Chains A and B, each alone.
Chain A
Amino acid sequence: MKLVSIPKDKYNDYRLNLIFNAYKWDPQFLDNNTVAKYALVITEQEHKELEKLTEKLDKETRQAEEILNKNLEFTKPLALPKKIYKELKNMKNYQPEKHIRLMRYDFHPTIDKNWVVSEVNSDVPGGFAEASIMPQIAIDVLKEDKYWYKNFGDILTNAIVKKVKPKGTIMLVHCTSYSDDRQVMQFLGDKLKNMGFNIIYGAADHLRFKNNEAISILDGNEGKVDGIFRFTPLEWLIDIKPKHWQGYFDTITPSCNHPIAIFAQTKRFPLVWDFLEKQGVDLSTWRELLPETLEVKDAKNKESYIYKPACGRVGEKISIKEACKDDEYEKIIADVKKHPKKYLAQKRFNSKPVISEDGESFHVCLGSYSVDGKHSGYYARISKLPRIDSNAADIPVLIERGCE
């Protein structure tokens, strides 16, 4: 993989184009520009390898969640919030073929071996427009026909078309107070609207469930809902306490994602692998790619382990000391001691930075999507620090034709 510069004289227009045409409404985070000055170019060979690994991981994950759904007594090590745990029994009617299963696996190039996967964003992965429009805008700026990309948005919406009735109503459930959630939903909503669907932007508590079917109660938009696209994380639903939020767990309305996603969303997912393997689930790809993961107590006195929150998002609260600001590291360690079950210990891997043409060094997190088991595109971020968090910059992923 390599970094290819966006020409300096075109960068400002490129960034503006992303803001207005690629739903990049958050181009600045604190003092950091979140639009990279490069494109990330991978070879055809790297792409084929990532595609294969993503689909293998996805198959393993989906098998694992079906087994866990039938054996809830073995999910204790996941330490899911009690309120969620209580609802899991209502997922017995889950039929994978009725819903859309979307996941994103975060790959990192490393010094020790080719790829490491740090986690799967199983519940509500984001970055949709960055994986769909941003690469095309980059190709237009670079004026090179040797690059191509997989359009994630096309693949996702085609999967939705297969499972939601034509011209049906889809509610895009998100935290309506957050513009960074809305930008993801707006991209998807505009695309689905062009395909003939009736789109409702709503919050988690704007849905009610009757006979396991979703109904919108949003002012001026009341009525039956034919599809749910949820961008509010499952563990936030219980925090905001919408009435009848439990309906999400046993709904027969096609959902993306169904709450079944919670099993792999918790970063403590590897703590049930031994059980899963005894049930015949093949987790060999996960075993190969994910760094060793332990209970916090089992990592005591062991070197090179970091702590990650079980329900963490966008790199928050990961104890990589050099990436923490002010007293952040000390606060994380204090919290780990106080709530060890809300964390896990993971063997730290040595991220291999990619060097740009102008000699700058960046760590890469290459998110690889799957939709209903098929590889569906990429969303990547780069950072000068080894922890890829909200300070990282979004970068389009291009595949170089004929480049093995």
Chain B
Amino acid sequence: MTGIDIFKIWAPTEARWVDWVRPVPFVSIDNGFEVYEVIDFTIPNISYIKESKKDTAIIVDLPGNESIKEGLATAKLGFRPIPIYNGTDEQKGAMATVDNHSIKIGLIKGARELQKMEISNDAPPTFLLDSNRMNRFKMNVSVFDNSWDIYAQDIPSAEYFLKNGINKIIVRGEKIQKDLKKILYKFQKKGIKILYTNGYEEPKEVKIKKTLEKDD
């Protein structure tokens, strides 16, 4: 399968929310890309949510492929996984801050799993993020920094969520990272309930505090 074939599986044109699938990791996937990669791709069982609800979206923010596998677990419950990975490839030969390569393998393997599932075209979304994205540690200046942030423009607006019946967003991760906090703080102000779960406990509502932005 080529990048475009895999993209079409993740973003079927007739489904809702797929306009936000970020093309970045897909565009550099070529035929035979994954041949030498062996990874465990067992889809986990999740217990923090039992079924999809029309008023609830999820943001899965876990390291690398874990986010894809967990996204597929929510797909089994009726959510539409929306990958929004935005990290680029490092310059050939250079050490990089983030491994964006493994995301591509996960998207290929995930596409095969998705093909086996039937997800309703109007399923609510699960947005998938790599929690390693903000790894900016550089042992020296010669390292290629391909870390990235999620910005408000990368997902639907609060108004769009509300207009489409979503008034709750569950964040599943090890914590709510600061780039996400900036976005969700504004969502909360506009009436969207933000819940958090570490994957073991029931999602609980959280109040996100304002993060000081450069523009404020």
A interface residues, Cβ below 8 angstroms from B: 12, 16, 19-20, 23-25, 27-31, 33, 176-179, 182, 200-203, 205-206, 217-222, 242-243, 331, 390
Q: Please tell me if the beta carbons of B23 and A221 are within 8 angstroms of each other in the complex.
A: no
Q: Please tell me if the beta carbons of B27 and A19 are within 8 angstroms of each other in the complex.
A: yes
Instruction: Select A390's contact among B7, B87, B95, B153, beta carbons within 8 Å.
Output: B153
Number of interface residues of B (CB under 8 A): 36
* Chain B nearest Cβ from A266, distance in angstroms: 20
Chain A residues near B215: list those with CB within 8 A.
Answer: 331
Chain B residues near A33: list those with CB within 8 A.
Answer: 19
Instruction: Select B144's contact among A24, A29, A219, beta carbons within 8 Å.
Output: A219
What is the count of residue pairs linking A and B with beta-carbon distances less than 8 angstroms?
A: 87
User: With an 8 A cutoff between CB atoms, is B13 at the interface?
Assistant: yes
Q: Please tell me if the beta carbons of B95 and A220 are within 8 angstroms of each other in the complex.
A: yes
Chain B residues near A28: list those with CB within 8 A.
Answer: 19-20
User: With an 8 A cutoff between CB atoms, is B143 at the interface?
Assistant: yes
* B122-145 at interface with A (beta carbon < 8 Å): 141-145
Instruction: Select B24's contact among A179, A205, A220, A242, beta carbons within 8 Å.
Output: A179
Q: Please tell me if the beta carbons of A31 and B156 are within 8 angstroms of each other in the complex.
A: yes
* B13-61 at interface with A (beta carbon < 8 Å): 13, 19-20, 22-24, 26-27
Instruction: Select A30's contact among B24, B146, B157, beta carbons within 8 Å.
Output: B157
Q: Please tell me if the beta carbons of B95 and A219 are within 8 angstroms of each other in the complex.
A: yes
Main secondary structure on B side of the interface with A = loop
* Chain B nearest Cβ from A243, distance in angstroms: 7
User: With an 8 A cutoff between CB atoms, is B160 at the interface?
Assistant: yes
Closest B residue to A189 by beta carbon equals B91
Q: Please tell me if the beta carbons of A219 and B23 are within 8 angstroms of each other in the complex.
A: no
Q: Please tell me if the beta carbons of B88 and A182 are within 8 angstroms of each other in the complex.
A: yes
The 8 closest A-B pairs by CB, nearest first: A220-B93, A219-B142, A219-B94, A182-B88, A201-B91, A179-B24, A19-B23, A31-B160
Q: Please, what's the 1-or-0 string for B57-91, where 1 marks a CB less than 8 Å from any CB in chain A?
A: 00000000000000000000000000000111001
Q: Please tell me if the beta carbons of A27 and B23 are within 8 angstroms of each other in the complex.
A: yes
User: With an 8 A cutoff between CB atoms, is B3 at the interface?
Assistant: yes
* Chain A nearest Cβ from B16, distance in angstroms: 13
Chain B residues near A177: list those with CB within 8 A.
Answer: 145-149
| With A177-B146, A179-B148, A243-B141: A31-B157 Cβ-Cβ less than 8 Å | yes
User: With an 8 A cutoff between CB atoms, is B152 at the interface?
Assistant: yes
Chain B residues near A19: list those with CB within 8 A.
Answer: 7, 23, 27
Q: Please tell me if the beta carbons of A12 and B13 are within 8 angstroms of each other in the complex.
A: yes
A222 to B144, CA, bound (A): 13
* Chain A nearest Cβ from B136, distance in angstroms: 8
Most chain B beta-carbon contacts within 10 A, residue among A23, A179, A390: A179
21 A–B contact pairs at CB < 8 A?
Answer: A16-B4, A16-B7, A16-B8, A19-B23, A20-B23, A27-B19, A29-B153, A176-B146, A177-B145, A177-B147, A179-B24, A182-B88, A202-B144, A218-B142, A219-B93, A219-B95, A219-B142, A220-B94, A221-B91, A221-B94, A390-B153
